[in-house]
Structure 1
């Protein structure tokens, strides 16, 4: 059963959320999971799949921008995003050693799902697959994630409420030395009389307990018990992947600026973005649907929010990322470690957290 989310505990986050306070508040966005848990096999991992569009047959470009605060991690497909300002297909998140298998699975899914495009055009698949390291709670070297797990997560994608914590790629993840994983949130804003939604999903696997803040309170120092750090370097280890999706019409350049704001969102939680952390962010816009560029005319026409009016979307991104990280943490429950064995990574005591507010 899903534990109460951060707002249900009385934490007074700023901003107005969408109906679900989830990335799926953006119309057409769906999320699916494959969650792999077997203590007998030291297995706690999985795949998270995000489908920004419900396209089929021929892909519809998704306008995109990317930013890496610290690059000790992986997100495939970003070189093309940086050059072209768009991507096609889904986004998947898994563990560090699962990137190749998930990339293979997503490519297979895209070839089947966009069959007309790949049959009639010189179609290519360049999936976006990102990762964080789950080797403390999962035998990551056993390579349990397979292409079929990615395909299953994609077919499982649906709208509505999004599960959080130990699901999908977030199954084996730790944030601020609490059990964490998958978290989501959303914000709605108005620009020029038009309402827009900013949705966020994170895979949180970053931070040191002593740095952890929630809404300006030093929660990590007020709840210091149960810190698991035995056998680990005394520095920030892990990573965070942030995916932001909006229905606001934005260019690739503006979306790169939105992606940068994810750094401010995670910074509100206290992390400095440590050298051993991969903090990699993707921002997408589902506005301006249209044909693949090779099937479009010579001159393209698109709507775009004026950069002089974009600040509410920046704030929406910062607020949604901040809350999504806390949602990932409050969903966590105590989990036994794999490497080294014999310890527990605790879920946060939500009663004590609520009492602080």
Structure 2
């Protein structure tokens, strides 16, 4: 059963009273706080399946503007990121970014390409570089069925909207696990001043990696907080998408993407051997208008990116609900009452 998934009723990090740090959160505390960036999900639940597609759609890509400055950071290359080499070589994206399940990534890329070629902007196109990332949802979903394709791609793109973003076990995060708990999709944003101008940076993540959850430096081991056994991810990966309205070029966005991967350590990632950890960063700013800013001005953007990504990673776990997969395999939600107790005891909230 495919659905557009509603927002989780669980807490986000801001709801727990954890401060945002040096930079304020955006209005929605989401990647959609970057004006012109929309997010949509298609979620498949039932009959042994928990999987889906998540679409990050920058409206700045249109018939007049065929690419946006972008770049890629590879924390560990154990993954299937379609479109990676051209993105890195040219420092640009030509399409929205889709996230999905490992063995469905190729079906999604083909369906996505078909969708794009049918649009008026690409009626005469003979080369195009769709960006499709993945993590492995095989712990909670029958991944070999490759149950995601054209229907889910169309739904995720059609449902993409501004404003609040559904998090947790939705879209591409429906079947993922992280840090011993149910993981999924998370998002956050920060507002900063860059070279004298207010800018926004937002992050969206798809979490499926191992380690010990930490929030504001407080350890929250699944082995201690769960009555049941911790969930062990298959594939052990994380996809991070960073968007900004800052006037930065593709080379500088490679540096931003590096900081996004660094942020995983703040939440307790162990960067295991088989973990495919990737960050794609793009800017909606048109450098024909102004920019790029000098490298000496970038430090606030780097810091705000790490803060936004770290919070997005935590939100992906806080928002996720207990999910049962094939053969009774279960990923438990992090117990929010125990999280609150530990954070209060540590003086964080």
- TM-score, normalisation: structure 1: 0.89
- Structure 1's unaligned 5+ residue stretches are 291-300
Offset from partner CA, 1:192-217 (integer Å, 9 cap, x none): 22011000000011123xx2211111
SS at match of 2:292: coil
Structure 1 position 226, deviation (Å)? 2.5
Structure 1 position 118, deviation (Å)? 3.0
Structure 1 position 124, deviation (Å)? 1.9
Which of 338, 341, 344 is the matching residue for 1:352?
Answer: 338
SS at match of 1:353: helix
Q: 1:44 touches 1:172 (CA, 8 Å); kept in 2?
A: yes
Structure 1 position 116, deviation (Å)? 4.0
Q: 2:179 touches 2:268 (CA, 8 Å); kept in 1?
A: no
Q: 1:67-146 counterparts in 2 under 5 A? A: 67-113=73-119, 115-119=120-124, 122-146=125-149
Which of 236, 248, 251 is the matching residue for 2:249?
Answer: 251
Residue equivalent to 1:16: 24
Superposed CA RMSD in Å reads 1.8
SS at match of 1:257: helix
Q: 1:75-224 counterparts in 2 under 5 A? A: 75-113=81-119, 115-119=120-124, 122-208=125-211, 211-220=212-221, 223=225
Which of 249, 258, 261 is the matching residue for 2:259?
Answer: 261
Which of 323, 336, 345 is the matching residue for 1:335?
Answer: 323
SS at match of 1:73: coil
In 2, Cα distance between equivalents of 1:81 and 1:302: 22
In 2, Cα distance between equivalents of 1:196 and 1:251: 15
In 1, Cα distance between equivalents of 2:340 and 2:66: 44
SS at match of 2:267: coil
In 1, Cα distance between equivalents of 2:87 and 2:37: 19
Mean alpha-carbon deviation: is it higher for 56-65 or for 76-85?
Answer: 56-65
Residue equivalent to 2:5: none
Which of 237, 244, 251 is the matching residue for 1:239?
Answer: 237
Offset from partner CA, 1:125-170 (integer Å, 9 cap, x none): 2100000000010000011111221122111111010000011000
Q: 1:2 touches 1:163 (CA, 8 Å); kept in 2?
A: no
In 2, Cα distance between equivalents of 1:163 and 1:35: 11
Residue equivalent to 2:269: 271
Structure 1 position 302, deviation (Å)? 5.4
In 1, Cα distance between equivalents of 2:255 and 2:321: 35
Does residue 27 in structure 1 map to residue 32 in structure 2?
no
Structure 1 position 350, deviation (Å)? 0.8
Which of 268, 276, 279 is the matching residue for 1:281?
Answer: 279
Which of 2, 11, 22 is the matching residue for 1:4?
Answer: 11
Does residue 53 in structure 1 map to residue 53 in structure 2?
no
SS at match of 2:185: strand
SS at match of 1:325: helix
Does residue 325 in structure 1 map to residue 331 in structure 2?
no
Structure 1 position 11, deviation (Å)? 2.4
Structure 1 position 269, deviation (Å)? 0.8
In 2, Cα distance between equivalents of 1:206 and 1:346: 15
- From the superposition, tell whether residues 316 and 226 of structure 1 become closer, same or farther in structure 2 (CA, over 3 Å): same
Q: 1:32 touches 1:49 (CA, 8 Å); kept in 2?
A: yes
Offset from partner CA, 1:329-357 (integer Å, 9 cap, x none): 0111111132xx23421100111111222
Residue equivalent to 1:295: none
Aligned length: 334
In 2, Cα distance between equivalents of 1:272 and 1:130: 20
- Structure 2's unaligned 5+ residue stretches are 1-7, 344-349
SS at match of 2:218: coil
Mean alpha-carbon deviation: is it higher for 147-156 or for 195-204?
Answer: 147-156
Residue equivalent to 1:296: none
- From the superposition, tell whether residues 224 and 44 of structure 1 become closer, same or farther in structure 2 (CA, over 3 Å): closer
